[in-house]
Amino acid sequence: MELLESFLVPKATGKAFVVKAGQILRITQPDGPQVIDFDAFSLGDPREYLLTSATRRYGPSHVTVGDLLWSGGLRERPMFTIIADSVKHQSSDSGAITHDVVSGRCSQSSRNLRYATDTPGCQEILAEAIAEFGLGLEYVHDPFNIFMRTGINAQGKNFWEDPFDVKPGDYIDLRAEFDIIAAGSACPGLSSGPGSRPFGVEIYAP
């Protein structure tokens, strides 16, 4: 593949960018686990966006190679196809596994309630990132939580664990099925485990 663009996104920051139809978006973990809250929109009409409920309807709640990420809003159709995933998915005793399309995103208000810190969450970080494309806070939606390790307990409650199976150099490859605005937030919360690490973005021509 021909590398077209690459950059790093530090923890607690975000970035929005364009991925054209047929291009490969590689999300990397250069220094180890960093959860990414990932939103996406049709470049042609951002009212069509990555819809995690549709993704769960047609596939599993934790995705990997061969699974589709579906759009919703104006219509439902495959938005990305996962074509590579280097994570060695190991289910823990609790049943948690990586690459979640169940959980929502954190926000400044939820971080205040949970951690007593009045700092931006992924809601605000994603809003700042997509503003470059003329999109407001109302466009931020439930994300694909890349590299996040989650499960559902016996009481039906969602929970997360440190992503111990994510190693430095791991990546996931998404093939864009049409022209897309993608946005990622390097989650400022504790779901990435200890430390402060960036995630990487690489865009390839097929």
User: What is the tens place of the pLDDT at every residue in 136-161?
Assistant: 999 999 999 999 999 888 888 888 88
Distance CA(183)–CA(167), nearest Å, equals 23
71 — phi, psi (to 5°)?
A: -95, 165
- Compute the average pLDDT of residues 128-141: 97
Please enumerate in sequence order all residues whose Cβ is within 8 A of that of 156, keeping only pairs 6 or more positions apart, or say none.
Answer: none
pLDDT tens column, 151-192: 888 888 888 888 889 999 999 999 999 999 999 999 998 888
Residue 108 has pLDDT above 90, yes or no: no
The structure tokens listed for 37 are 């809250």
pTM: 0.93
* Domain that includes residue 200, residue range: 2-205
Q: Which of 194, 195, 184, 204 is nearest to 8 (CA)?
A: 184
Q: How many domains does the chain have?
A: 1
